[in-house]
Amino acid sequence: MSESGFVGLDAAPRGDAEVVLVTGISGSGKSVALHALEDVGYFCVDNLPPELLRDFVRLEHERYTHLVAVAVDVRTANSLPRLVPLIDQLRAEGVRIRPIFLDAGTEALLRRFSETRRPHPLTAVPAAGDAQRALVEAIDLERELLAELREVSTVIDTSQLRPAQLRQWVRSLVGARDAVLTLVFESFAFKHGVPLDADFVFDMRVLPNPFYIRELRPLTGRDAPVAAYLERQPEVMEMLAQVEDFLRRWLPGFADDQRSYLTVALGCTGGQHRSVYAAETLAGRFQGRWATLVRHRELDGRD
């Protein structure tokens, strides 16, 4: 037994073994994410206390379970300070661990708790002068408790996502093979809010809008007529070139800083034409050098 009180791994983990750590704010969709992983072959465990994670990884390694997903949340609040150092320790021992943090805006969380009528796990924590903590205060407290874990995780903002979209995005994340850095290009509509998971945000609303051309209005930025229209606009090409130059200049620094994912959010008014085209185009330009994923928040899961 190690000095930390955990049983060590008896052998190096298999190269194809992976542990996905699903965590995040209560009500942000952890159950949906865990079910999505289970559907694609992961052995899933919900609400595992962090102090048991290392032993659990060792046990599953001995059983030759290749794909494991573990959900950890604020219900084990007393153990959370141990989790980030433990993630670093497991990686140092050869465990391929991928933390995914699900987040959502407070307004979306309040709506979800109201719809499900389920209590927040921290509402029973006494507040000064109150028998129960107000829901919004519980959410704020949870954000504070999970802040350090969020910093070391790949963040997915579920505020505007339907369950089908979240399942799709989680499957895309775990399907991306290990690389020095994975670029995520995400289109969105400003009228629905900026994604909480964005590392960089670029505003496409200054560009000519295909929405005002009748035959292009029902199409999206993935359609050839919209792409052809935007490619004829010099300012579109200029902006994309500037964004590309910026990313190429600074991406090596983020990779050297041990970042696993970098989310580049591109927004327009409706999230249908300009931002979608920009995300698709930039992803294509970076595919040769970096692993890339493309998300369209307002389009994915529409069908």
**Domain residue extents for the chain:** 18-175, 182-296
**Low-confidence winner among 65-79, 105-119, 272-286 (lowest mean pLDDT):** 65-79
Amino acid 10: pLDDT:
44
- Is the pLDDT assigned to residue 15 strictly greater than 70? no
- Average pLDDT, stretch 135-152? 90
Which of 39-53, 77-91, 148-162 has the largest mean confidence?
Answer: 148-162
Amino acid 172: pLDDT:
85
- Convert the pLDDT of each residue in 155-209 to its tens digit: 999 999 999 899 989 988 887 655 568 899 999 999 999 999 899 999 999 999 9
What token pair was written down for 126? 């006494």
CATH fold group of domain 18-175: Rossmann fold (3.40.50)
CB 221 within 8 A of CB 236: no
**In the predicted model, what is the mean pLDDT of the chain?**
85
* Closest alpha carbon to 158 in 6, 33, 4, 268: 33
What token pair was written down for 277? 């085209």
Quote the pTM value.
0.72
